[in-house]
Amino acid sequence: MRIATTVFLTDETVRPAWLGRELEQRGFAGLYLPEHTHIPVSRDTPAPMGEPLPRPYGRTLDPFVALGQAAAVTERLGLGTGICLVAQHDPVVLAKSVATLDFLSGGRFTFGIGYGWNVEEAADHGTVWADRRELVRDRMALMRALWAEEPTAHQGPYASVRASLAYPKPVNRERPSGDPLTGPRTLIGGAAGPRLFAHIAAYADGWLPIGGGGLSESLPALRRVWAEAGRDPAALEVVPYAVRPSPGKLAHYADLGIEEVVVQLPSGDETEILHTLDESAQYL
């Protein structure tokens, strides 16, 4: 089982280049970074992790810039967003950022995406909250048009782009014959449910279940939706995310056929990070 990591990197924590080197030297599989552009001070949306909102949420580094630094000093370490708030981006610009990071890292990028929880943050980006799921789906289709080998146009309900020259391309990812997806490995984060599972089966490679709880009950439902969509059962990837690991928990994941787990690191200094990495080394 591959053991990757996630952490809220901020202006008060370790730097991504230092962390990337430490992770690669110790044999960890990857580094996933979250995204918040800003946290409005006046906020009616309750934080899903409880109030008060932890300090790092309002201080996160831009994940693409930070992962670029980590990519520059590593050769094997996987790099990912966990998660990118697609509804808060111009999709043409985001397509360029994703393709560039994947190209420069030699195909090491995983595009973890999601719909967000902060209504006020999304509103400042002009996002209509009720539309955000379909908006993300449409923007993903536009980005895949730009990633296609031949100039391809996209006309959708929320976004459009002319057939264009758009380089670099993401590094080719091997998928089952007939799979329509292009671009880097794409995993959708969110709580289990019919709507999320339908979107995963329609335009992603798998699921990032936050915390990793309840998979014995939810995985059969996701696999059923995936198969009904005509997707290859062997191609579905489920990557439990922000996990507090234990031997029993990882053994349970292995029994479910899970091949990668993302463990949570503290948003702290070198001493805190290294202590957690030493504790987690037993699972490598």
Tens of pLDDT, residues 218-236 = 999 999 999 999 999 999 9
Q: What is the mean predicted confidence (pLDDT) over 16-29?
A: 98
Domain count along the chain = 1
Give the relative orientation of helices 215-228 and 194-203 as an angle to the nearest 10 degrees.
50
Provide the pLDDT confidence category of residue 209 given band limits of 50, 70 and 90: very high
Q: What is the CATH number of the domain that holds 213?
A: 3.20.20.30
pLDDT at 11 over 90: yes
Counting other chains too, the contacts that 19-24 makes at CB distance below 8 Å and 24 or more residues apart are 19/70, 19/273, 20/69, 20/70, 20/71, 20/73, 20/74, 20/77, 21/73, 21/74, 22/273, 22/274, 22/277, 23/74, 23/77, 23/277, 24/74, 24/75, 24/76, 24/77
pLDDT at 204 over 90: yes
pLDDT > 70 in the chain, percent: 100
| Number of Cβ atoms within 10 Å of the Cβ of 246 | 10
Q: Is the pTM of this model over 0.95?
A: yes
What is residue 240's predicted lDDT score, i.e. its pLDDT?
Answer: 98
Q: Which residue has the higher pLDDT, 17 or 47?
A: 17
The angle formed by the CA atoms of residues 201, 245 and 243, to the nearest 5 degrees, is 40
What is residue 121's predicted lDDT score, i.e. its pLDDT?
Answer: 98
HSE-up of 38 (CA within 13 Å, CB side)?
10
Give the relative orientation of helices 63-72 and 16-26 as an angle to the nearest 10 degrees.
50
pLDDT > 90 in the chain, percent: 95
Provide the pLDDT confidence category of residue 174 given band limits of 50, 70 and 90: confident
Give me the domain span that covers residue 8. Answer: 2-283
Provide the token pair at 62. Answer: 């831009």
pLDDT at 48 over 90: no
